[in-house]
């Protein structure tokens, strides 16, 4: 198979998998929305840039909720649907969705990840900043 054709088909499949579908209203149950400022008193701000219509982005929703529950006020989770509001995508200069941007307590980016990001890996990342889940 011609390599250019293969790459074109792969690119088209990727675009279709994250293509915009009909508008759906999704509640984020505790996950902060786009109208809130990213800076906070939390030790880490977890900024999720995605869409409610993208499959890997949808897979991040329970991860964000769980992180917010496990870390309480130590971590602030902010979700931006970049298909509804492109400004955050431009602000953070993202290339694809989902993208996770992690800010320290001063609002400075210390880590960035593209694609689905497993909760266990996020918890390990927070450990490098000495931020641990709250005890039950």
> Sign (positive/negative) of CA torsion 106, 57, 97, 121?
positive
pLDDT on residue 132: 96
Residue 87 has what pLDDT? 97
97 neighbors 48 (Cβ within 8 angstroms): no
**Can you read off the two tokens belonging to residue 27?**
């509640």
Please state, in angstroms and rounded to a whole number, the distance separating the CA atoms of residues 88 and 48.
Answer: 10
* Bond from prior residue into 98 cis (ω within 30 degrees of 0): yes
**pTM assigned to the model:** 0.71
9 or 50: whose pLDDT is higher? 50
Neighbours of 112 (CB within 10 A): 14
Q: Is 14 helix (H, G, I), strand (E, B) or coil?
A: helix
Is the pLDDT at 4 greater than 90? The verdict is no
- What integer pLDDT is reported at residue 1 of this predicted model? 59
What superfamily would CATH give domain 30-128? Glutaredoxin (3.40.30.10)
pLDDT (average), residues 59-79: 97
Domain map (residue ranges) of the chain: 30-128
């Amino acid at each position: 198979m011609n390599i250019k054709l293969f790459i074109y088909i792969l690119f088209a499949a990727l675009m279709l998998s994250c293509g915009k579908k009909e508008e759906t209203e999704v509640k984020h149950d505790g996950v902060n929305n786009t109208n809130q400022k990213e800076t906070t008193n939390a030790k880490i701000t977890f900024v999720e840039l995605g869409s409610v219509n993208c499959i890997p982005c949808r897979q991040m929703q329970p991860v964000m909720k769980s992180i917010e529950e496990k870390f309480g006020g130590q971590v602030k989770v902010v979700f931006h649907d970049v298909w509804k509001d492109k400004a955050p995508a431009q602000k953070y200069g993202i290339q694809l969705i989902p993208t996770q941007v992690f800010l320290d307590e001063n609002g400075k980016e210390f880590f960035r990840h593209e694609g689905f990001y497993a909760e266990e890996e996020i918890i390990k990342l927070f450990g490098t900043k000495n931020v641990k889940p709250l005890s039950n």
